[in-house]
Structure 1
Amino acid sequence: MHDRTGISRDRRGIAARAVVIAMVGLMLGGLETNIAVILFHYGILFLMALPFIGMPLRRLCWWAAGWTLISPVAAFLLRPWVGTNINPSDLDGNPALEHFAQPATLLADILVTGYYPALQWLSYLLLGILIGRLNLRSFGVQAGLLVAGVGLAGLSKFVSAFLLGPLGGLAVLLETPQGRRYDIEAMLPVSLTGIDQTGTWWWLAVSAPHSGTPLDLMHTAGTAAAVVGLCLMATRRLQWLLLPLSAPGAITLSLYSLHIWIMSIVDQQEIPLDPAPVYWAQAAVFIAIGLLLRKLGARGPLEYVAAGASDVARSAGAVSRR
């Protein structure tokens, strides 16, 4: 358990890192691209998670579970109010510096109406902090993450199917204005992005990607936990097995930003490029960069900036107390 001074230092470091990530996200948001850039949302989520740093494990469990179940209900209740009182209610694009001229719209988009609603997505950070506090070297913990994750993911889909099928939820959704306008049944396995999920509580019964419901959060959190457990088990004796993933994974801020920039160029080509070669070329180059920097013991350029800002912020309090 960290002492109070250590927790404060950690929070300052995370806050500084969040600001760097958010600023990178705003810069990338100004590019012409079809990708929904998540970095500004990440920065906000890091700041929202600060009160939970150092929280006792049992209390953190309750917060993570409660937030996963309750935040979608809060978002469901807030969306009609936002739609009525904030115009426009979303950015219809990536957050960029110019959007600070529309603070209400920017806040509504980031928290509730946007592609990555931070109100619900804080659930992922709380669950991630919780998993990170476990003894991840223990085989029992690794197996538990795999089994519990698969079970949670499967249960969420089963419950959603039961609510929408035998209990009649889907029939109600199909009778809503959105259901009559869109092929909701075909969209449920793919995504409900852009669908106005208001008018009936049955929207909370779906588990579609980017629906932000309790069952969606449970399914995605479960699959993520299962993948973490599986990867930890796979590398217990063969640590090199996932090196092509872990090496570039150590410099994701730099590689993600590079990917957005490359795709902003690709998206502007008059003759559309075949996406498969574009994807595999980037994957190969990014793996090579990750392996090279790992061999050299170096960080990515943006990781240096973020870590430097974090180090300065962490040491600032100690300097001020002298």
Structure 2
Amino acid sequence: MASTHNGSAGQRLAGIDAARGLALLGMMATHIFPLWTAGANPEPSFSGLVLSGRSSALFAVLAGVGLGLLTGGSRPHSGRSLLADRSGIAVRAAIIAVVGLMLGTLNVSIAVILVHYAVLFLCALPFLQLRLPVLAAWAGGWLLLSPVAAYLLRPWLENTLGLASLGHNPMILDVFIPSRFLADIFVTGYYPVLHWLGYILVGLLIGRLDIRRAAVQLWLLSGGLAAAALAKAGSWLIMDGLGGYRQLASTEAAERPDFALIYQVNLSWVDTDDSWWWLGISGPHSGTTFDLLHTSGTAAIVLAICLLLTTKKPNLLLPLSGAGAMTLTLYTVHVWVMSLIPKNAVWPGDNEIYWVQVIVALSVGTTLHVLDRRGPFEFITSTASRTTRDAIRGGHRQYS
């Protein structure tokens, strides 16, 4: 939902918007379709096995890419321009947070990402001026160490301070209990900022590359493939080769009858604080180094492919890039629509609910692109952010 303009060129990168469109459709699928099949012998569904964890990670990595491009791309801004950028990003984050807090009041079984997303924007501000090697070190270190920090912090927050997760999407009233609210946002919630800042830093690192060049795009594709494969191989070595999975059999989470399925599709539903072996898994939403590295790699793969396809033909993926250019609006509408549909409705079924929303999202995105218009929430955030930046720059406008 961050801008994907390169400040120096003033043009959108259609490939980034297309990748964001794919992330949106993937997240919608995980919100609508079951993560495993029903019946006597349930199996992980396509949404659970392929999209769970990867779609939201792609969304976050692309946010970092957008921040990188917004602040100068391969030629990062400094001085007053950087101050203006940071102020504009803070305003953008505030608007996104307000939208997220409003969505938190809806009765919907969706973990709404927007408030965490907004906080991630604010946490990224100190990293915007870093040189590429330093930024790479921070990104790598964050992926490596943040899961360990979270593993140590979660029990301390719950036992010492008596704090746990909110148990629901953040809403305005939660702000008035700041300790619990911040604990949920940063450590114990569904999208803990402590882990997820790693995605932003990876995206920011990508945004600092000259990603308009085909050679860089190919390197990004190769790097993504290597990272995704290395993460799975490392996790397999620990969990299977060294017996980590057998060690987890004695934990409370493993006693659940659906544990084998959860292990493959969404580990945010179980307590993973009772054994260090949990840090060796790579399952979706586990928040381990292997999970963060694998999903960062798959995000880089999707982005590289979209960039390669659209560099010379920007409209090749137009329906996706059109929707990806207005994800804040479309995501918000999606959550609102899902809150209106009865949870046990016989009709419409999951397929109808999903594909109608997909067709509408792609059609609206394409139409607004052809008309050279922005989504309503994109217009509001962009206008507020740009006005703030221009005021600090002293009236010198730089489009985002």
Alignment counterpart, residue 310 of structure 2, candidates 232, 235, 238: 235
State how far apart, in whole Å, the 2-side matches of 1:227 and 1:300 are.
24
Paired with 1:203 and 1:219, the residues of 2 have a C-alpha distance of: 16
Is 2:196 aligned against 1:196?
no
Aligned pair partner of 2:220 in 141, 145, 150: 145
Total equivalences in the alignment:
320
Taking the aligned partners of 1:239 and 1:3, their CA distance within structure 2 comes to: 30
CA shift at 1:235, angstroms?
1.9
Could you tell me which amino acid in structure 2 is paired with residue 292 of structure 1? Answer: T
Specify the alignment match of 1:45 in structure 2.
Answer: 120
Q: TM-score, normalised by structure 2?
A: 0.77
Q: State the Cα RMSD in Å.
A: 1.6
Equivalence for 2:204: 129
Aligned-pair CA distance for 1:205: 0.1
- Match status 1:28 vs 2:100: no
The corresponding residue for 2:159 is 84
Is 271-280 or 164-173 further displaced after alignment? 271-280
Shift of 1:88: 4.4
User: Aligned residue for 2:87?
Assistant: 12
1:77-136 CA-to-partner distances (Å, cap 9, x unmatched) read 101101113444111110001112322111111111111011000001111111011111
1:184 and 1:44, CA in 2 relative to 1: closer, same or farther beyond 3 A?
same
Contact 1:174 1:184 in 2 (8 A): no
Answer yes or no: is 1:115 the counterpart of 2:185. Answer: no
More RCO (CA 8 Å, sep 6+): 2
Runs of 4+ aligned residues of structure 1 deviating over 6 Å after TM superposition are: none
Q: Partners in 2 of 1:28 and 1:235 — Cα distance?
A: 34
Query: Contact 1:145/1:226 (CA < 8 Å) preserved in 2?
Result: yes
- The aligned residue for residue 279 of structure 1 is 354
Write the letter of the residue equivalent to 1:242.
L
Structure 1 residue 288: Cα displacement: 1.1
Task: Write the letter of the residue equivalent to 2:177.
Answer: Q
Q: Deviations over 1:165-222 (max 9, x none)?
A: 1201111111112223454333222111121111221110000100000000000000
Q: Match of 1:171, as an amino acid?
A: R
Distance 1:239 1:202, change over 3 A: same
8 Å Cα contact 1:111-1:118 kept in structure 2? yes
Contact 1:86–1:105 (8 Å) recurs in 2: no
Which consecutive unaligned segments of at least 5 residues does structure 2 have? 1-75, 396-400
Residue 314 in structure 1 maps to residue 386 in structure 2: no
The answer to whether the 8 Å contact 1:17/1:309 transfers is yes
Q: Do the aligned residues in 1 keep the contact of 2:80 with 2:393 (CA within 8 Å)? A: no
Cα distance in structure 2, aligned partners of 1:139 and 1:232: 8
Paired with 2:342 and 2:113, the residues of 1 have a C-alpha distance of 18
- Unaligned 5+ runs, structure 1: none
- Further displaced range: 200-209 or 81-90: 81-90
Query: Residues 246, 33 of structure 1: CA spacing in aligned structure 2 closer, same or farther, 3 A cutoff?
Result: same
Deviations 1:26-52 (A, max 9, x none): 001111111111011110000000001
